[in-house]
Amino acid sequence: MPLENPVLNDEDYGALAEFRFALRQFQAFSGERAAEKGLTPQQHQALLALRAAPAEEATVGFVARRLLLKPHSATGLIDRLEKLGLVTRHSTAADRRRAQLQLTPSALELLASLSATHKEEIRRLRPLLQTLLERFG
C-alpha cells in the first residue's frame, strides 16, 4: 500500500524528471517517424493497437480504450484511417452494428517499417531506462 505523503529527496525528483524526459524524447522520436510516413502519432498508435489486438477485439471500442479516447473520437480516428486506405470495417455475424476493423496490406507494410525503427530506438534507450528504473527501486 503506497504511503499517503511519501518523502522524496532531491535524487528522487531528479530520477522522476529524467524518466519523464526520456519518455518525452521517445514520444518526440515516435511522432517524427510517424510524420515521415504521413501519419499523426495517434494514427500510428491506433494502427499498432489494432495490429496487436486479437481479431475479435479489433473494434472502435478497443481503439478507444487503448488510446484513452472517447468513443466518438476513436470513431473519427478510424474514419480518417479508413479514408487513407489503412483500415477496413466489416460487420460481424453476431451483431451487424458492431464492426470488426482490419488493417490493409499497405497499413501492415507501413506499420512494419515504423515498428522496426521504434524497436531500434527502444534498444538504444534500454540502458538509460534500466538505470532510471533502478533509481526507483
Is residue 5 domain-resident? no
As for how many domains the chain has, the answer is 1
Cα 58 to Cα 43: distance, rounded to the nearest angstrom: 15
127: its cell numbers: 540502458
3-class SS at 95?
Answer: coil
Is residue 3 domain-resident? no
Instruction: Give residues with Cβ within 8 angstroms of 31, minimum separation 6.
Output: 41
Which domain range does residue 114 map to? 11-136
Is residue 4 domain-resident? no
Round to the nearest angstrom and report the end-to-end CA distance of the chain: 15
Is residue 19 domain-resident? yes
Is residue 126 domain-resident? yes
Q: What is the CATH number of the domain that holds 89?
A: 1.10.10.10
pLDDT digit string (tens) for the chain, length 137 residues = 565 778 899 999 999 999 999 999 999 999 999 999 999 999 999 999 999 999 889 999 999 999 999 999 999 999 999 999 999 999 877 666 778 999 999 999 999 999 999 999 999 999 999 998 898 87
